[in-house]
Amino acid sequence: MNSFLDKNTFEQNDEYAAKLIANTKDETMYNRILDEVQHCKSFTFAVAFIESGILNSLKTVLKDLNVQGRILTSTYLYFNKPQMFRELLKLPNVEIRVYEQNHGKFHAKGYLFQHEGYQSALVGSSNFTAGALKVNKEWNLLFTSHNNGKLTEDIASEIEEQWKGASKLSPEWIDEYEKKYKIQNKPAIKVVSQSVDEDNSNYSI
């Protein structure tokens, strides 16, 4: 615990101990994230892939809370659907930015929560999808730090750097993204080669 916390204050306090969250029957990333959101002052998610369905739970939790949030996501591999981006705009008190592919391959999966006097973070393999947060065998490290803790400070600094270079999410941005998304996800035309005579002449359809 000395690696993450002020040893004079938190050394013997198990509540702040680092732990692995691996989607077991006792604890999932989904439950842990929603619990952190309900008890934090603000939060920042930096996550490459998001699914629309899982946003409904976050929206419900945020509706009755005075919590400010930020979500940094991406256009990497055109995984994120246009409708998902539209759902993101409906989250109350949450600012959204998108790290676009022309800036690099954004593949982060980190969740940072600001509490009174300390920060907690979840960093690992889970995107913000139902499978990754509830059932997949994911590895995510939960750790807590004083506000001047080096590790959470480094994470926050990395997020800030990428946040500044990201695009603000807007209906107009989504409309443009949808055009690119449809091109990238266009069904491939299957090419079938058929030998038609002994001279090995081939025709493709």
User: How is the chain split into domains, by residue range?
Assistant: 7-204
| CA–CA distance, 21 with 37 (Å, rounded to integer) | 16
- Residue 11: the pLDDT is 56
CA-to-CA dists, residue 22 to 30, 46, 142, angstroms: 11, 19, 10
Residue keyed to tokens 């491939």: 188
Strand order in the sheet with 118-124: 19-21, 140-146, 118-124, 109-114, 42-47, 68-74, 94-99, 167-168
- Residue 189: the pLDDT is 57
186 exposure class (CB count in 10 Å sphere: 0-12, 13-18, 19+): exposed
| CA–CA distance, 145 with 50 (Å, rounded to integer) | 27
Report the chain's terminal Cα–Cα distance, integer Å.
Answer: 64
Judge: domain 7-204, CATH 3.30.870.10: yes
- Residue 203: the pLDDT is 30
Report the candidate in 54, 51, 108, 53 with the shortest Cα–Cα distance to residue 76.
108
Instruction: Tell me phi and psi for residue 99, to 5 degrees.
Output: -85, 110
- Residue 181: the pLDDT is 97
- Residue 187: the pLDDT is 76
pTM of model > 0.85: no
Query: How far does CA 24 lie from the centroid of its chain?
Result: 20
Report the candidate in 165, 163, 179 with the shortest Cα–Cα distance to residue 96.
163
Over the range 2-39, which residues count as b (16 or more CB within 10 Å of their CB) and which as e? Answer: eebbbeeebeeeeebebeebbbeeeebbbebbbebbee
- Residue 151: the pLDDT is 87
- Residue 205: the pLDDT is 34
CB 112 within 8 A of CB 163: no
**Helix and strand element counts for the chain (H, E):** 7, 10
Low-confidence ranges of the chain (pLDDT < 70): 1-15, 188-205
78 exposure class (CB count in 10 Å sphere: 0-12, 13-18, 19+): middle
- Residue 202: the pLDDT is 40
